[in-house]
Chain A
Amino acid sequence: MDYWNESVECIDRQQLERLQLELLQSTLKRAYEQVPLYRTRFDEAGIKPEDVKSLSDLRHLPFTTKQDLRDTYPFGMFAVPMDDVVRIHASSGTTGKPTVVGYTASDLSMWAELMARTLCCGGVTKRDIIHVAYGYGLFTGGLGVHYGAERLGASVVPVSGGNTKRQVRLLQDFGATVLCCTPSYALHISEVASEMNVSPDDLRLRVGFFGAEPWSESMRQELESKFGIDAIDIYGLSEVLGPGVGSECLAKNGLHIWEDTVIVEIIDPETNEVLPDGCPGELVFTSIRKEACPIIRYRTRDISSITRGRCECGRTHARISRITGRTDDMIIVRGVNVFPSQIESVLLEVDGIEPHYQIVVDRKGGLDEIELLVEVSPSFNISGVRELERLGSTIRAEIQSVLGLSVRVRLVEPRTIERSSGKAQRVIDRRKL
């Protein structure tokens, strides 16, 4: 097992926690002094940075939310003068004002280091060719992975998203060994490849780093078998850094969070209390090494859990479980909490369909209804109506038994559910609540 920075990645936990406390204290001091929002929040909570004397004091600090970043649009969260900011990224702003983050030169350098560690986690070396199909631009995905790959010394193909046929041709012609994109886009690439009669054997891919949207264990199997690769789950968000916040190693047993740069907590999204390790809840991050945009107790809305035992790869940093959903993606239907990822994992167990689906929630006569659109596989034997009806009722019964939820299943023709080169839109909520 190769590390990028062994002394840090395998650091003794006591030593790590001492380092964390030191970095946390200086971060809090700077945030309090430089960012009016933090000063106001801390004052309102009656807490001063110097009151934080141990890591467990972190829980007394106020949270930061996406709304705070919107309210301080564009640069209100910056803790350094603009002279020191060398890069700006922003969210798409589809659900409101974009959230803007800035980076100093030293932030970018740390980010590249974390992404290099991430790639190393999947066994990538400077001899690899890395095809980056995350979007380049304001989105952190493309550039984030890019600079990590360069730091590692690998050859980077900065394709960005879109034009899938060209992606397949380049994968084939350049012989990329590593693919980086969203998992739903990876599936789409594999479909287009097979349409172009390009088989996994025609490609040299051996590992993929997929993130930026929640995905499931069964989707991993699907991607691994379609491409003949190891599919690695990576985690990141611009508010905390971008890709490189956390990554699985080849043990595929949780995502290593680089704790020398962030502190991770899990809280109960309802009570806001910190939960013990192992309990599922909302991920909360505090950056402890970022200069331009320190972020204190950022509520990610992502659902996960933490474990702190040493991984079989030897790394000692905490691991989070695969993101199982988002507190705000969660749909509550007839009192049942449903995450699209749960529906996805059921669908991946059923033969005769493609892992493309859409969940349409509507309210008819005061009653919530879920309609699940699922694509029939082009190879499904459809001679009789009965076979198709049986397929529909199998899906229905599986979802009923796994999620305790009755849904209406509508089988649709292959490739009729909209494909996206970014995050797939899985849920359409038509309820007027």
Chain B
Amino acid sequence: MRVSQISVFLENKSGRLADVAKILGDSKINIRALSIADTSDFGILRLIVDSPEQAVTVLRDAGFTVSLTDVIAVQMPDRPGGLAAVVEALGESDINIEYMYAFVTQSEEHAVVVFRVEQLDEAITALTARGMKLLSGDDVYRI
């Protein structure tokens, strides 16, 4: 139930994000979700795309520093309190969240939250034990 996320190192200068978007676009790679973490000097662009391996290859060929990271994607009802239940479940199991970002699916009334935690397996166990729906990589890539 792990999902592959791509992280790209970006210096804070104009045009770098556009470069990434263009490279992925030219290779017909579709972006499913993204978030940017930034400091004063650099940013990390995190992406979930429909073909992660290919995305890594094309970005690396273009000279970017790229790595693949396993994350988990939880599907939850798109309504108040949805996120709280998930985060509480992780908290109760003493699982620390490194970062997270969310997106809403188009057709269904669901939201998807992507989590990066250190203890991935424990998180998966904790969430499934509470009946929460984890999406597989293919699920997310196909959204």
Q: Using Cβ atoms and an 8 Å threshold, which residues of chain B touch A384?
A: 7, 37, 44, 98-99, 116
Given contacts A383-B116, A384-B44, A389-B39, contact A412 B63 (CB under 8 A): no
Q: Using Cβ atoms and an 8 Å threshold, which residues of chain A touch B39?
A: 385, 388-389
Which of B9, B60, B99, B116 is the one whose CB lies under 8 Å from A376? B9
Q: Using Cβ atoms and an 8 Å threshold, which residues of chain B touch A273?
A: none
Please state if A388 and B9 are interface contacts (CB–CB under 8 Å): yes
Please state if B41 and A411 are interface contacts (CB–CB under 8 Å): yes
In the complex, identify which listed stretch (B64-72, B107-115, B128-136) lies at the interface while the others stay far away: B64-72
Chain A, Cβ-Cβ closest to B8: A382
Chain A, Cβ-Cβ closest to B37: A385
Given contacts A378-B65, A383-B69, contact A412 B11 (CB under 8 A): yes
State the Cβ distance, B83 to closest chain A Cβ, in Å.
21
Asked if A7 is at the interface of the complex by the 8 Å CB criterion, the answer is no
Chain A, Cβ-Cβ closest to B61: A195
Q: Using Cβ atoms and an 8 Å threshold, which residues of chain B touch A386?
A: 98
Please state if B67 and A414 are interface contacts (CB–CB under 8 Å): no
Query: Roughly how many angstroms separate A174 CA and B5 CA in the complex, as a whole number?
Result: 43
Which of B5, B44, B63 is the one whose CB lies under 8 Å from A385? B44
Query: Roughly how many angstroms separate A381 CA and B44 CA in the complex, as a whole number?
Result: 11
Please state if B44 and A382 are interface contacts (CB–CB under 8 Å): yes
State the Cβ distance, B71 to closest chain A Cβ, in Å.
9
Please state if A414 and B116 are interface contacts (CB–CB under 8 Å): no
Please state if B7 and A413 are interface contacts (CB–CB under 8 Å): no
- Interface size, A (range): 20 to 34
Given contacts A388-B44, A389-B39, A410-B41, contact A382 B63 (CB under 8 A): no
Please state if B116 and A413 are interface contacts (CB–CB under 8 Å): no
Given contacts A376-B65, A378-B60, A380-B65, contact A413 B9 (CB under 8 A): yes
Please state if A382 and B99 are interface contacts (CB–CB under 8 Å): no
Query: Roughly how many angstroms separate A15 CA and B4 CA in the complex, as a whole number?
Result: 73
Q: Using Cβ atoms and an 8 Å threshold, which residues of chain A touch B9?
A: 376, 380, 382, 388, 411, 413
Q: Using Cβ atoms and an 8 Å threshold, which residues of chain A touch B116?
A: 383-384
Q: Using Cβ atoms and an 8 Å threshold, which residues of chain A touch B69?
A: 381, 383
Which of A388, A410, A414 is the one whose CB lies under 8 Å from B63? A414
Select the residue from A385, A386, A411 with max chain B CB neighbours within 10 A: A385
Asked if A415 is at the interface of the complex by the 8 Å CB criterion, the answer is yes
Please state if B63 and A413 are interface contacts (CB–CB under 8 Å): yes
Chain B, Cβ-Cβ closest to A371: B41
Given contacts A388-B44, A411-B41, A411-B42, contact A383 B7 (CB under 8 A): yes
Which of A382, A385, A410 is the one whose CB lies under 8 Å from B65? A382
State the Cβ distance, B2 to closest chain A Cβ, in Å.
13
Please state if A415 and B63 are interface contacts (CB–CB under 8 Å): yes
Which residues A371-405 have CB closer than 8 A to chain B? 376-386, 388-389
Closest 7 CB pairs between A and B?
A383-B69, A381-B67, A382-B9, A383-B7, A385-B37, A376-B65, A378-B65
20 extra interface residue pairs, beta carbon distance < 8 Å, beyond A383-B5, A412-B11: A377-B65, A378-B66, A379-B65, A380-B67, A381-B69, A382-B65, A382-B66, A383-B67, A384-B37, A384-B44, A384-B99, A385-B37, A385-B39, A388-B9, A388-B42, A411-B41, A413-B9, A413-B11, A415-B63, A416-B11
